[in-house]
Amino acid sequence: MPRRCAAGDELSFIDTRVIFGGGLVRDAAVLLVASTERAFSLFKTQHFSPTETRLVVTDAVPEKRIVTEINGCPAAPEYARALGIDPSALSPDVFAAHPVVVRIGNSDFVRSIQRVNPDGSLSFFCAIDRGIVFRMARGEDILANLEATLASAAEAVGEVELILGCDCILRLLECRALNIIETVGARMATSRVIGFNTFGEQYRGMHINQTFTGIAFGGRVAAP
């Protein structure tokens, strides 16, 4: 049951470390391999849906996850124009509330913006490339979405014994802005959620952003 999440340093993007053997380690990854006889279920949720506003990546530096041009214009000003705000108002809170989504197969996946660079380009948390068509996203009720997700996870495994979750840092920023951190924390505690605020999640091989992903473990032993 592989899971992957990306570590960060509270949005400073200066020094990222992971914990291993009781110490902090740089330039490393930690791999945990586990097996269980308990019933378990993988889940992913996001509370954004696409609008009709399209943004085409017309130039980029894919290896650095940087978009330099959108719709033939400098990336940050064009993104701000689509939002109807001044480029100087762009911030992590704005990015958290207004991500873009990309259609892959029959599903929409969030592509979250990390920051504005001095040259007016945009750095993303996820892989990007020239020619990708983004759509501006519309946010839905994050609490209602969380409630439905946790209820569905419990239904899949029976009584939940534990949920190992990876909740995107941008979801945390949104909850702070909405002043619902304690409400969200209490709801997760009720569902026995432990885990991390992450800077990139993975679900069935897809690297994604601004999602809550996890594994729900049931109290019963899985059928052979």
Q: Where are the domains of the chain?
A: 17-47+141-221, 48-139
Q: What pLDDT digit, counting tens, does each position of 135-187 carry?
A: 999 999 999 999 999 999 999 998 899 999 999 988 998 899 899 999 999 99
pLDDT of residue 158: 86
Q: What is the pLDDT of residues 3-19, one digit of tens each?
A: 445 667 777 777 788 88
Q: What pLDDT score was predicted for residue 34? A: 85
DSSP single-letter state for residue 87: G
pLDDT of residue 218: 93
pLDDT of residue 6: 62
Tell me the three state secondary structure of residue 29: coil
Which of 179, 199, 197, 205 is CA-nearest to residue 95? Answer: 199
Looking at residue 66, its amino acid is: I
Among 144, 194, 185, 137, smallest CA distance to 166 is for 194
Q: Is the pLDDT of residue 127 over 90?
A: no
Long-range contacts formed by 63-70: CB under 8 A, 24+ apart = 64/123, 65/114, 65/123, 65/124, 65/125, 65/126, 65/127, 65/128, 66/117, 66/121, 66/122, 66/123, 66/124, 66/128, 67/121, 67/122, 67/124, 67/128, 68/119, 68/120, 68/121, 70/122, 70/134
Burial status of residue 171 (CB atoms within 10 A of its CB: 0-12, 13-18, 19 or more): buried
Average pLDDT over residues 96-107: 88
- Top-level class of domain 48-139: mainly beta
Chain segment 46-99, per-residue pLDDT in tens: 999 999 999 999 999 999 999 999 999 999 999 999 999 999 999 988 998 899
State which amino acid sits at residue 186: A
Tokens at 21, concatenated: 């053997």
What is the Cα gyration radius of the chain?
A: 18
Confidence of residue 129 (pLDDT cuts 50, 70, 90): very high
Q: Report the pLDDT value the prediction gives residue 199, as an integer from 0 to 100.
A: 83
pTM recorded for the entire structure: 0.79
Predicted confidence (pLDDT) per residue in 17-40, tens digit:
888 888 988 888 888 888 899 999
Please provide residue 114's backbone torsions phi and psi, each rounded to the nearest 5 degrees.
-85, -50
- pLDDT confidence tier of residue 2, bands split at 50, 70 and 90: very low
Q: Is the pLDDT of residue 116 over 60?
A: yes
CB contact at 8 A, 150 and 142? no
